[in-house]
Chain A
């Protein structure tokens, strides 16, 4: 079972992001369970959503306490919420929506134990503004997630986006996800080369 925790703020489509992630897994014939953290959500308040993906029926109903991957939709949460809680050092994946680096975000030291190819950033809000016309980073981040984990294909992510949205909103989000996918692939390539050079 692969477990993903998504952190963001009310209004950023965190819950929809988890839902689309589960649909992408469903498209690939897998079992998936997406659910929100059930808080009394308000615009701007920290929000958590969860997604489990497995090849068999998922019966577990506890919140995801030990995620395999984190998708952080809002970097301002990094020093406000314990977003890294339970993430396995070294093995965990971290994808952050930001234009800055891990060092610039002040977590360079914290993530030094992780594999560099599993640490990626993507300017998802900027991509969404440019390609969708609204600052909703969720779909773009799913493209990045597909790249960083290799768990789902970009096509499945696109299918999930088109399941949830229609018309130009869907296509704009698919374009944002595709661009994010390429950005993350490039980052991973650089990280791998860097690791080899070391």
Chain B
């Protein structure tokens, strides 16, 4: 059924249709509306049987999810930013134990400086913890990916993180096609755990493993993610059969066939890039875009297949690996081993900085002329940066950087965008 609703509400409805039995969450912007809506559904009985557990922290949220999942329940939680960081130890445990928890990450920057706006720093910080990581381009895809996440995670016995851009998606109201319970039930079978804490057949979960077998257990976690590479496209195809929509999958190319320049990105910025690509195509530019939906596992072969014929690749990413530059770019580079082409990393949209068509037009044209630096920062205000660097050269007690920069830019609250 088509409805005009907020992305968070859509995701909550999709999660509810997946019949989770335990939901545990601690509120943090911009994830809050999702768990608020689910809490309401549990309270009114619209979502039953399901227990909503209020926890005292994100560490507790993930720990409860682990316990619930180990007891055989379908478990869901959601977080963002510092909240995700606070659950890190338990994140590795959920993955290491192979418990198919599903979690929404409403992507938000990480402090300091504290910032509630969108970028991908939070999800990227957890890229190697063993969770599957899927990135949604739109609210419709966010909704659809949650339904696929439960099935994927449970089939493989691995936790799955669905990443959706905080505010840009979570707080946007748009047209969403909400599936029927019948459709979801046809796609998602009841959870049949590989391992379960059952008093009738007692087992322990979480043994200490020494050097004699640790490597093997870790390798098996990797092997499961490699299985996900095969399973994800299959499930997307089946999803399309039941729901009539092309959603999910490993990667999504757009106008890449004859493209000399291909832009690679994750998440909601793909929409703005596609609009820019269409405008440039009309003017005769051979440009296309590759969206990576599955960041973990990373689809090396598909990325290579699509990018290899191009002359240059621009990886636009909403996260910064301080001290080197790009994270997605490093992964793309790995896919392109032995392929000769120009590669550019562009860090953009950190902490909610808008990524506009205007800036993308200028950026992509610069790339086409091969005038980009290997690493660049979209719309970075060099005046502000250089003023601070200059001051630091001159003076010793320059004070805290965030406060100094804010003083330099003046009040920002009244700005339109």
Q: B175 to chain A: which residues have CB within 8 Å?
A: 26, 31-32
Question: Quick one: which of A36, A61, A65 contacts B271, CB cutoff 8 A?
Answer: A61
Kindly name the residue among B2, B167, B355 whose own CB sees the greatest number of chain A CB atoms within 10 A. B167
Q: For B271, what are the chain A residues with a Cβ–Cβ distance below 8 Å?
A: 58-61
Q: Are B268's CB and A65's CB within 8 A?
A: no
For the complex, is A45 an interface residue (Cβ under 8 Å from B)? Answer: yes
**Segment of A79-87, A107-115, A165-173 in the binding face:** A79-87
The count of A-to-B residue pairs whose CB atoms sit within 8 angstroms is 92
- Complex alpha-carbon distance, A114 and B275, angstroms: 30
Name the one of A22, A23, A48, A59 contacting B416, with C-beta atoms under 8 angstroms.
Answer: A48
Are the C-beta atoms of B414 and A80 separated by less than 8 Å?
yes
Using CB atoms, name the residue of chain B closest to A21: B173
Our pick among B171, B272, B356, B357 for the contact of A38 (Cβ within 8 Å) is: B171
Known: A32-B4, A62-B357. A38 touches B352 (CB 8 A): yes
**In the bound complex, CA of A180 to CA of B194 (Å):** 62
**Considering residues B172, B356, B413, which has the most beta carbons from chain A within 10 angstroms of its beta carbon?**
B172
Asked whether B117 is an interface residue with its Cβ less than 8 Å from the other chain, the reply is yes
Chain A, interface SS category:
loop
Residue of B nearest to A31 (CB): B175
Query: Given A35-B171, A46-B414, A81-B414, are A60 and B275 neighbors across the interface (CB < 8 Å)?
Result: yes
Inter-chain contacts of A22 with B (CB < 8 A): 4, 173-174
**Closest CB of chain A to B163's CB: distance in Å?**
15
Which residues from B are CB-within-8-Å of A63?
A: 354, 356, 416-417
Q: How far is the CA of A18 from the CA of B173 in the complex (A)?
A: 9
One digit per residue, 1 when the CB lies within 8 angstroms of any chain B CB and 0 when it does not, for chain A 29-40 equals 001111111111
Q: Which residue of A lies closest to B168 (CB)?
A: A61
* A83 cross-chain contacts in B, Cβ below 8 A: 416
Known A-B contacts A33-B174, A45-B413; A26 and B4 likewise in contact (beta carbons under 8 Å) = yes
Q: Check if B116 is an interface residue, CB within 8 A of chain A.
A: yes
Say whether, besides A34-B172, A34-B174, A62 and B355 are in contact (CB < 8 Å).
Answer: yes
State how many residues of chain A have any CB contact under 8 Å with chain B.
34
Asked if B146 is at the interface of the complex by the 8 Å CB criterion, the answer is no
Contact of B173 among A35, A40, A81, A82 (CB under 8 A): A35
Quick check: is B6 within 8 A (CB to CB) of the other chain?
yes
Is B356's CB under 8 angstroms from A62's CB?
A: yes
In the bound complex, residues from chain A placing their C-beta under 8 Å from that of B171 are 35-36, 38
How far is it, in angstroms, between the C-alpha of A46 and the C-alpha of B411 when the chains are bound? 13
Known contacts A58-B174, A59-B271: A65-B6 contact under CB 8 Å: no
Q: Is A118 an interface residue (CB 8 A)?
A: no
Chain A to chain B: the 5 pairs with minimum beta-carbon distance, closest first? A59-B271, A26-B4, A63-B417, A38-B167, A35-B172
A-B contact pairs, 6 of them (CB 8 A): A33-B173, A34-B173, A58-B174, A61-B168, A65-B358, A82-B415
Binding site for B on A (CB under 8 A): 5, 18-19, 22-23, 26, 31-40, 45-46, 48, 58-65, 80-83, 85-86, 163
B-to-A contact residues, CB < 8 Å: 2, 4, 6, 30, 116-118, 138, 165, 167-168, 171-175, 268-272, 274-275, 352, 354-358, 413-417
Q: Given contacts A33-B172, A58-B271, could you give 17 more A-B pairs where the C-beta distance is less than 8 Å? A: A5-B416, A22-B4, A26-B4, A32-B4, A32-B175, A33-B174, A38-B168, A39-B413, A46-B413, A59-B270, A59-B272, A59-B275, A60-B271, A63-B416, A65-B416, A81-B414, A83-B416
